[in-house]
Amino acid sequence: MSSKYGRPDRQRGQIVMLLTLALVPVFGMIGLVTDMGYMHFVMMTAQTAAEVAAQAAIIDMHATVGGAVLSCATVTCASTATACPTNITTPTNSIQRGCMYAQHHGFTGVNQSVTYQAGVAGTPPTATGIGPATYWVTYRAIQKVPTMFSAILGNTSSMVVARSSAAIIGSSDCIYALSPIGTGFAISGSASVTSACGVYVDSTNSSALTTGGSSSLSAPDYDVAGNVSVHTPLSPNPNLGVAQMSDPLASLPVPASAPYICGHINYSAPNFSNPTLNPGVYCGGINVGNNSYTLNPGTYILVGGGLSTQSTNSSMSGTGVMFYNTYNSTYSYAPISLAANSTVSLKAPTSGTYAGILIFEDRTAPASSDTYGGGSTAVYEGTIYAKNAAITMSGNSGIAAYTLLVAATISMVGNTQFNNDYTTLPGGSPIQKIAMVE
């Protein structure tokens, strides 16, 4: 019997041995595929944690500091990956808020960790090509994953690392019409408006942006919540139906608050005396009249009365100046009223909290109509921030390195140029936005 059946038994034994040996790598491959599928799931979870952390941190930072000039002495910076604190319940800064959000998305386990990097100016080390940022953060969600099936091949664990970066960067727009209804931005007559930066119109009206007569408008982009009514098609095509937005300078702190101590009351110099003014509190405002006013650098607080010129005999110039137009119970609010035929050359500060801010109107001011005259030779270098005002502008010269308008509605009635050269400002554009850059 053994001679008759021995050879087949030996063959069957060899086959079983070979099959067993062959199954080892097969099961290993099956295990590897299974483990890779599980690791992909872990990676998605880690990526979500990193992204919500970056978003939470940068949103909180933007809401806290807005477009202020930052330094590592006032905000959290970390040039290398730094571990997040654990078990955060009450974050004390923007970075900790991001860490807490990552933890709330599951990254609190034994084999998990979250790290951050952050800095002012520059760019995230792993997300180049975005231009200098006012502030940036990078979060990494890290998890050690024990393998299950592929451990048979000696691969007992793997590391999953997800990364996300966010930044506060200068806005690409420089004209903001914030009224949610009616016509927000209008160009009439033969006015020609040329802008090196974009236009944003918050109104959902079917004529949110209009051009009439023989007027023209040229800008790199148009973001309109509603629709446009133009006599000549815009180029490029406008982005219609965009999401409405809130005040882009809502976090800018007010430079002064009541009670105000008047340094001047109803200031108006004798005709043709051509005085030089100094910063201070001007109760009842400033009326240029028949004069040429020279303004020294600094902040001018206008408590009621506003700022006005009256004719070709009115001239006003100042570099490094900022006006805060407010009011109180004694001095009623008055708008900015700069006559079309007057001469105006005003430039905002280039440093400090109000770098790039030229006109700042009280956010609680009643709706008003502001006029910015001077024609195509006027120079308004800075940000005109009047969220409750209807602004009419007769012109702005290309001499101004940059000009930003933030108002309820804007009407252009003269030849105007908007530039966007912010090289004199430490933080770039005074209007900052949030961007997910990685």
- The domains of the chain are located at 2-170, 247-429
- Taking residues 45-69, report their average pLDDT: 86
- For tokens 């051009």, name the residue: 211
List pLDDT tens digits, range 100-122. Answer: 999 988 888 678 899 999 998 88
Q: Confirm if 344 and 374 have CB atoms less than 8 A apart.
A: yes
pLDDT on residue 24:
54
Give the pLDDT score at 134: 85
pLDDT of 2? 47
Strand partners, 385: 360, 406
Least confident window among 1-15, 210-224, 378-392? 1-15
What length is written for the chain?
A: 438
Question: What share of the chain in percent tops pLDDT 90?
Answer: 64
**What's 253's DSSP letter?**
P
- Strand order in 416-418's β-sheet? 216-218, 192-195, 416-418
pLDDT tens, position by position, 343-377? 999 999 999 889 999 999 999 999 999 999 988 89
Whether the predicted pLDDT of 384 surpasses 70: yes
Mean pLDDT across 146-152: 59
* Residue recorded with tokens 């005003």: 346
pLDDT value, residue 1: 45
Q: Is the pLDDT of residue 23 over 60?
A: no
Has residue 58 got a pLDDT over 60?
yes
Q: d(Cα 203, Cα 182) in Å, to the nearest integer?
A: 6
* 49 confidence band (pLDDT: 50, 70, 90): very high
At 342, is the pLDDT very low, low, confident or very high (cuts 50, 70, 90)?
Answer: very high
pLDDT at 271: 87
| The pair of three-digit structure tokens given for residue 268, joined into one six-digit string | 């108006």
